[in-house]
Amino acid sequence: METVKGGLTAHTLKLIAIIGMAMQHTAIVLGSAIPTPLHFPLQFAGGLTFPIMAYFVAQGYRHTSNLRRYVLRIFIFALIAQIPYMLAFSSAFFIAPIHFNIMFTILAGLISLILYDKMRTRWLFWILFVIICLATFLFDWGIIGPVMILLYHAIKSHTSKSIAVPFIAVGGKIVMGVVIGLITAAIIVSAMLTGGEEALLNMLDPYKLIEVELTDPTAALAGLLFPLGSIATIPLLLMHKGSRGKPQKYLFYIFYPLHLLILALIALALGIGGTFNLVGIF
């Protein structure tokens, strides 16, 4: 993309993404410790993060001088971030005992880009891409993550991808939410049928966030602002003209696991149950 002076720099957009991520993660990890009205702006801000980061993954792939090093760096930080991620979010996931952090999603998307450009047999690529997407079902942002990264790369018009991909992200998150909701409902019904109310409560006990959402519909409703945050990235991306701004290559890589660890420690200090329940995770 041609670099034009003016507009939002890449550095500014990445800072917006990082701040939005920290805001939403605070709402999720600390749950009921956060006043319910604050959940609305915090969830909205979180919707800004991944559409922006996915955009810059595609840009990074296109402009990196050493692709192997780029892939390795993401893989290493994905490993580093996994423990803080599980410490912070072990109480937030209901249908799976383990969930993988967003760096693994980015890695899956990056691998998809490499295959997209290198594989000449297109039908084989699409089969592999579907497999990659399905494998990310238990990754942060799930199946839609690699799709967004690929679209940011495949769509050549800056205006078109800045508008289309965030809308696709919202649609994908809604579909994923419905699927997860149905699976969650099936698990709850199964628990009630096999063990009654006591079995259901025992199953919910490690997942305090789910309990909060079940008992506080307003907090759960705040999650509906998350897709609006993703759509709000459209004008931000349109204002990016290609300028890099102040280079901060490792800012996101370092901040991501660090802020998760800090939130996990705060949750522990507040006595929020389930946050450090690693026995079930491993």
Answer yes or no: is pLDDT of 87 > 90. Answer: no
Work out the angle at residue 224's Cα, subtended by the Cα atoms of residues 55 and 173, and round it to the nearest 5 degrees. 45
Q: Is the pLDDT of residue 237 over 90?
A: yes
222 by Cβ neighbours in 10 Å (0-12 / 13-18 / 19+) ranks as: buried
The pLDDT value given to residue 29: 87
pLDDT at residue number 199: 57
Residue 270 has pLDDT above 90, yes or no: no
Dihedral over alpha carbons 67, 166, 103, 21 (to 10 degrees): 130
Q: By mean pLDDT, which of 63-77, 135-149, 235-249 is the weakest?
A: 235-249
Report the pLDDT value the prediction gives residue 142, as an integer from 0 to 100.
82
Alpha-carbon gap, residue 140 to 78, rounded angstroms: 12
Q: What span, in angstroms and rounded, lies between the C-alpha atoms of 189 and 176?
A: 20
d(CA 187, CA 190): 5
Classified as helix, coil or strand, 139 is: strand
Give the per-residue pLDDT at 82.
Answer: 93
Q: Which pLDDT does position 176 carry in this prediction? A: 73
Domain ranges of the chain: 10-281
The pLDDT confidence band at residue 200, using thresholds 50, 70 and 90, is low
pLDDT at 171: 85
- CA dihedral for 50, 56, 58, 64, sign (positive or negative): negative
pLDDT exceeds cutoff 50 at 169: yes
- The predicted pLDDT at position 279 comes to 34
The whole-number average pLDDT for the span 131-139 is: 91
